[in-house]
């Protein structure tokens, strides 16, 4: 019987599905990193979300480990290269939260364009400002998507029916045009985009990719949505782009630093929260009530597929 250590919250359906197939699950969402180091050597599988980094120290202690399952999409919380060297399979579940991310990105976009947060705050504060809260229609706009994996594809699909044109760039894919988006070069995306949405992982290549030069490459003033990873964006440069009018507004579900007090300690924090053209949410785009279960179902299926007999 193979043992799995679960160090973050997973839906009970995961334990039900893999338990029925003979796995023993130790569900310990309260476990600390040091406690995990002391016991991980007894396990063939590790299930994580974002609790701590699965790097060299942890993998050195995990002599029996056969796989790590990430209850989400991004794998930046795992030393992917080292895991590969040690033949540790890596599993994630972008299929489980793509709808949540797509809907959240669309909700942020519509809220920005229609000033829903400022209008709501104004009325509650005793101000009735119709002119200052006039909206901008999506109709006829070009939405540029960077990264056309599960999340980018789902966002494009959610936009269908809203009379927008969707273009997409993916450095690692080609020939992916579909009924929802047209594949374009980065040059065309810079030239034609009215609204930019990021759907890329955090890697050494993408970290701080969206900087001053990046914003200056766009031909138009744009709206910006980021539901990917905060560290992809240079926040100070984004604030400068908003101040100059290069970025007309931004919806950020992710930030370079997250949670308090770390967020409050950032030099750009006060400017961020005082900027009326930025809509913020606490890294929750992919974490809907429905995706909580769906992610666990997807992960369970992938764990079971690892042990399935091969033809």
Span 49-61, pLDDT tens digits: 988 999 999 999 9
Q: With a cut of 90, say whether residue 308 has pLDDT above it.
A: no
Are residues 123 and 53 part of one domain?
A: no
Same structural domain for residues 131 and 195? yes
pLDDT at 47 over 90: yes
Is the domain of 275 the same as that of 130?
yes
Where do we find the tokens 């809220």? 111
Cβ-in-10-Å burial (0-12, 13-18, 19+) of 20 comes to exposed
Number of domains in the chain: 2
- State whether 7 and 128 are in the same domain: no
Residue 109, domain CATH: 3.40.50.720
Q: Does residue 309 register a pLDDT over 70?
A: no
Query: Domain check: are 57 and 182 in the same one?
Result: no
Q: Residue 103 pLDDT > 70, yes or no?
A: yes
Whether residues 183 and 65 share a domain: the answer is no
Model pLDDT, residue 310: 56
Asked if 142 and 242 sit in the same domain, the reply is yes
pLDDT at residue number 1: 86
Rounded CA gap, 130 and 119, in Å?
8
Alpha helices for the chain (secondary structure H): 12-20, 33-39, 56-61, 80-85, 94-113, 116-124, 150-159, 186-192, 212-216, 235-244, 269-274, 289-307
Shared domain check, 213 and 127 = yes
Kindly indicate the confidence band of residue 97, based on its pLDDT and cuts at 50, 70 and 90.
very high
pTM over 0.85: yes
Weakest mean pLDDT among 71-80, 183-192, 300-309: 300-309
Spatial distance between the Cα atoms of 71 and 15, rounded to a whole number of angstroms: 13
- Give the catalytic positions in this structure: 229, 258, 283
Residues spanned by the domain of 26: 3-92+289-307
Question: What mean pLDDT do residues 18-22 have?
Answer: 95
As a whole number, mean pLDDT of residues 128-152 equals 97
Residue 250 and residue 116 in one domain? yes
Residue 305: CB atoms within 10 Å: 9
> Does 134 share its domain with 270?
yes
Phi, psi of 92 (to 5 degrees): -140, -175
Over residues 203-209, mean pLDDT: 96
Q: Are residues 130 and 248 in the same domain?
A: yes
Q: Which of 60, 120, 50 is nearest to 92 (CA)?
A: 50
């Amino acid at each position: 019987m193979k043992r799995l250590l679960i160090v973050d919250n997973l839906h009970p359906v995961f334990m039900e599905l893999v338990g029925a197939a003979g796995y023993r699950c130790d569900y310990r969402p309260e476990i600390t990193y040091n406690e995990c180091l002391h016991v991980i050597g007894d396990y063939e599988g590790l299930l994580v979300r974002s609790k701590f980094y699965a790097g060299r120290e942890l993998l050195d202690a995990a002599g029996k480990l056969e796989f790590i399952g990430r209850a989400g999409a991004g794998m930046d919380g795992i030393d992917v290269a080292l895991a590969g060297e040690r033949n540790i399979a890596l599993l994630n579940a972008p299929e489980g939260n793509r709808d949540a991310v797509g809907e959240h990105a669309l909700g942020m976009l519509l809220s920005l364009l229609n000033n829903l947060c400022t209008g709501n705050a104004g009325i509650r504060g005793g101000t009735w400002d119709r002119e200052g809260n006039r909206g901008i229609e999506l109709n006829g706009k070009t939405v540029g998507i960077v990264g056309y994996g599960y999340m980018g594809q789902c966002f494009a699909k959610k936009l269908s029916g809203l009379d927008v044109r969707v273009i997409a760039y993916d450095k690692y894919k080609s020939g992916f045009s579909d009924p929802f988006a047209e594949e374009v070069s980065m040059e065309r995306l810079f030239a034609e985009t009215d609204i930019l949405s990021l759907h890329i992982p955090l890697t050494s290549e993408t970290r701080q990719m969206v900087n001053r030069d990046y914003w200056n490459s766009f031909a138009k003033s744009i709206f910006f949505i980021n539901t990917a990873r905060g560290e992809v964006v240079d926040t100070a440069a984004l604030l400068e782009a908003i101040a100059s009018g290069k970025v007309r507004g931004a919806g950020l579900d992710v930030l370079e630093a997250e949670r308090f007090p770390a967020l409050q300690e950032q030099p750009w924090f006060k400017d961020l929260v005082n900027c009326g053209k930025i809509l913020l949410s606490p890294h929750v785009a992919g974490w809907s009530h429905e995706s909580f279960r769906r992610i666990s179902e997807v992960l369970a299926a992938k764990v079971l597929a690892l042990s399935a007999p091969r033809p």
